[in-house]
Amino acid sequence: MLTPKAKRMTVDATLLSGPAAADAVFASHLFGSAPGESSAPESQPATFSNLKLHGVFAAIGSLPAFAILSVDGKPDQPVKAETEIAPGVVLGMVYPDHVEVRRNGVVERLNLESKAGGPSGVAKGADFRLNVQSRAPDNFSFSRKELNQALQDPQQMANLGRFVARPGGLVVEDARNGSLAEKLGLQQNDVVSQLNGQPVTSNEDIGRFYQQLNQTGQVRLIGLRDGKAMTLNYSIQ
């Protein structure tokens, strides 16, 4: 087996910006993988000692895949697939539990760090920066501008919460205190089944949820909590 010689790298990663970052986050596998999804492999184990994989975001439709990488112990940064990380080193395919890194024509596998900060594998940071008001039970309001500003900060990706596709809807797998999911009134094990009257069946529907938050003034979420009907209403200004 060929084992490329490891060397110290410097990174000039291409960050996802603005709406592209937001769309990719909300419509990605940060919210879990679909049933039956598996990794594809046949790549060599990576020999990078200074490159750590802390999160993976698989592409859906036209939305790009990207990974959360730390190089030389520096803070995590999102890097799009097919982006050159350093001369001769390119982030290749992104899978639910690893990525492929191409170095001088040799494909190497870099595994997701085990339990690197919670179910998503992304290190958890401070609270999601969104001021959400709730003047009545299950009714919430917030600023669209403030939401978009927060989503433009790559460090906020760790603070969204996590959803997993299951029969009947999306299950809230992680809604820790301070996360966006928690601020929107969701709790762990809630099931989201409808958004504005449309069924929720896959992670792509989370992308639709964000689009509705960005385009309309009112969003209604219907689901189940502890087996009982749940309705959450959002007013976006």
Q: Note down the domain range covering 27.
A: 18-111
Provide the CATH number for the domain around residue 163.
2.30.42.10
Give the amino acid at 138: D
The three-state DSSP-derived secondary structure of 196-215 is CCEECCCCHHHHHHHHHHHH
Same-domain check for residues 213 and 145: yes
Residue 146 lies in a domain: yes
Q: Is 177 among the domain residues?
A: yes
State the pLDDT at residue 228. 96
Q: Say if CB 17 and CB 78 are below 8 A apart.
A: no
How does pLDDT run across 108-142, given as a tens digit for each residue?
999 887 644 443 434 445 688 889 999 899 999 99
Using a pLDDT cut of 70, give the percent of the chain over it. 62
Q: Which of 111, 143, 161 is at the close of a domain?
A: 111
3-state secondary structure (DSSP) of residue 71: strand
Indicate the number of domains in the chain: 2
Same domain, 101 and 164: no
5 domain residue, yes or no: no
| Residue of 49, 32, 52, 55 whose CA lies nearest to 154 | 55
User: What is the arithmetic mean of pLDDT over 66-88?
Assistant: 78
The reply to whether 52 falls in a domain is yes
Separation between Cα atoms, residue 215 and residue 213, nearest integer Å: 6
Helix (H, G, I), strand (E, B) or coil at 150: helix
User: What pLDDT shows up at residue 17?
Assistant: 38
User: Same domain for 139 and 81?
Assistant: no
- pLDDT score, position 62: 44
122 domain residue, yes or no? no
Q: 221 and 149, same structural domain?
A: yes
pLDDT digits (tens, 9 = 90+) for 156-192: 666 778 888 888 898 998 898 998 899 999 999 999 9
4 confidence band (pLDDT: 50, 70, 90): very low
Question: Which residue is associated with the tokens 């502890």?
Answer: 226
Burial 50-59, CB ≥16 within 10 A → b, else e = ebbbbbbbbb
The owner of tokens 């050159």 is 84
Report pLDDT for 57. 67
Q: Please, are residues 131 and 143 in contact by the beta-carbon 8 Å criterion? A: yes
CATH of the domain at 83: 2.30.30.830
Pair 69, 100 in one domain: yes
* SS3 state at 140: strand
Do 88 and 145 reside in the same domain of the chain?
A: no
Q: Are residues 100 and 147 in the same domain?
A: no
Residue 56 lies in a domain: yes
Identify whether residues 137 and 222 lie together within a single domain.
yes
- In which residue are the tokens 């992680």 written? 174
Per-residue pLDDT tens digits for 182-201:
999 999 999 999 988 989 88
